[in-house]
């Protein structure tokens, strides 16, 4: 399957970022942003996904001047709750994709794709869904094929997965259920509340910084300009994150912690605290920030068809 043409999508509530991946290489000229129509009826949302596939195929033919193969793969990073094996959406109460609740998106999308492609009735589509953090991890594992990786994405929440030499590990005593950390208890709440954009903003509010429209990026710039208190807060964020992750790293015997997501761009400010929190005994964990999460997510989408 590694030679198949893969149409990769990162589906969000407001937009879909998509491209063509051929033989494991992202064709960057096909990278396009589309509206997702996440608040519209199910038929509109699924029709848009099918239209995106059709547009990517058009771009591919124009770019390469090659005919399309008889089998095409569509890999989608889709937010949860979602039954990724069955292709059924269970999102409710998140102000996006409400109309897809209980809908088998794979079946409906395949129906739309075949309707779009009546000129080629023999063409086959294979549609696979996965969590975006898992796809990021699979993409990142290409760089570290022989290692055991703990992977997190830091942004609006904390995404996670565990990789053993390029393979997802979602079950067993060495990983939390499904490899997910976001819902695990931490402090007075859960990990998602602490290790995320809102977690960092809460730290700064509690430290007395005025609510002046600053986001993580602005606070990071403040720290880099020498604000001692801001530097200390990022360091403490890293320490708390490292202390939280340490038992999972030991349990999995992870050799490397890979960090993606928008907050990965501020690793220089919390790396020292993170390393201190991670260390137990003589164990040393390599921390790697991969800021181009979208690129690695697309690569991960193509790896689902290996």
**Over the stretch 224-234, which tens digit does the pLDDT of each residue have?**
999 999 999 99
pLDDT tens-digit readout, 252-304: 999 999 999 889 999 999 999 999 999 865 556 788 888 688 899 999 999 99
Q: Is residue 222 part of a domain?
A: yes
Domain assignment present for 101: yes
What mean pLDDT is predicted for residues 76-92? Answer: 94
**129 and 266 inside one domain:** no
User: How many domains in the chain?
Assistant: 2
Asked, for residue 123, whether it belongs to a domain, the answer is yes
User: pLDDT tens digit string along 122-139?
Assistant: 578 999 999 999 999 999
Examine the domain organization and report whether 193 and 263 are in the same domain. Answer: yes
Same domain, 120 and 187: no
Q: Is residue 183 situated within a structural domain?
A: yes
CA 179/CA 264 separation, integer angstroms: 20
Give the CATH number of the domain where residue 264 resides.
3.30.420.40
For a pLDDT cut of 70, what percent of the chain falls above it? Answer: 95
Same domain, 149 and 285: yes
Look at residue 243 and tell me if it is in a domain. Answer: yes
Report whether pLDDT(2) > 80: no
Does one domain contain both 119 and 167?
Answer: no
Q: Per the domain annotation, does 240 fall within a domain? A: yes
Which has more pLDDT, 173 or 212? 173
73 and 36, same structural domain?
yes
**Same domain for 175 and 121:** no
Q: Summarize pLDDT for 8-31 with one digit per residue, the tens.
A: 999 988 899 999 999 989 999 999
Percent of the chain with pLDDT over 90: 77
Pick the range with the lowest mean pLDDT from 16-25, 168-177, 206-215, 235-244: 206-215
| 262 and 180 assigned to the same domain | yes
Report whether pLDDT(196) > 80: yes
- Residue 199 falls within a domain, yes or no? yes
**Predicted confidence (pLDDT) at residue 169 exceeds the cutoff of 70:** yes
Kindly report the average pLDDT of the chain as a whole number. Answer: 91
Question: Is 139 within a domain?
Answer: no
Range of the domain at 97: 5-134+297-303
> Residues 12, 65: one domain?
yes
Structure confidence at residue 171 (pLDDT): 94
User: Does residue 161 share a domain with residue 69?
Assistant: no
pTM of the model: 0.89
Residues 124, 228, single domain; the answer is no
Q: What mean pLDDT do residues 223-245 have?
A: 96
Work out the average pLDDT over 25-48. 95
Res 26: pLDDT: 94
Q: How many CB atoms lie within 10 A of CB 94?
A: 12
Whether the predicted pLDDT of 1 surpasses 50: no
Does 156 share its domain with 128? no
């Amino acid at each position: 399957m590694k030679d198949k043409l893969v149409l990769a999508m990162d589906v969000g509530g407001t937009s879909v970022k998509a491209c063509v991946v051929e033989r494991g290489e992202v064709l960057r000229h096909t990278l396009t942003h589309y509206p997702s129509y996440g608040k519209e009826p199910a038929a509109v949302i699924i029709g848009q996904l099918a239209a995106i596939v059709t547009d990517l195929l058009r771009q591919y033919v124009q770019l390469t001047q090659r005919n399309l193969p008889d089998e095409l793969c569509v890999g989608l990073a889709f937010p949860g709750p979602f039954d990724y094996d069955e292709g059924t959406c269970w999102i409710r109460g998140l102000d996006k994709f409400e109309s897809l609740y209980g809908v088998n998106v794979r079946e409906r999308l395949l129906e739309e794709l075949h309707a779009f492609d009546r000129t080629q009735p023999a063409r086959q589509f294979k549609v696979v869904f996965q969590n975006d953090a898992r796809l990021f991890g699979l993409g990142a594992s290409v760089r570290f094929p022989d290692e055991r990786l703990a992977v997190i994405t830091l942004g609006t929440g904390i995404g996670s997965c565990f990789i053993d030499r390029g393979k997802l590990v979602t079950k067993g005593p060495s990983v939390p259920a499904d490899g997910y950390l976001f819902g695990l208890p931490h402090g007075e709440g859960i990990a998602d509340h602490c290790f995320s954009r809102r977690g960092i903003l809460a730290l700064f509010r509690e430290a007395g910084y005025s609510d002046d429209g600053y986001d993580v990026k602005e606070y990071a710039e403040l720290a880099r300009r020498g604000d001692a208190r801001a530097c200390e807060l990022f360091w403490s964020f890293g320490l708390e994150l490292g202390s939280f992750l340490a038992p999972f790293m030991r349990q999995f015997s992870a050799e490397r912690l890979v960090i993606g997501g928008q907050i990965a761009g501020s690793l220089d400010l919390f790396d020292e605290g993170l390393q201190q929190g991670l260390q137990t005994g003589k164990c040393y964990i390599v921390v790697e920030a991969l800021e181009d999460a979208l690129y690695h997510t697309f690569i991960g989408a193509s790896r689902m068809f290996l």
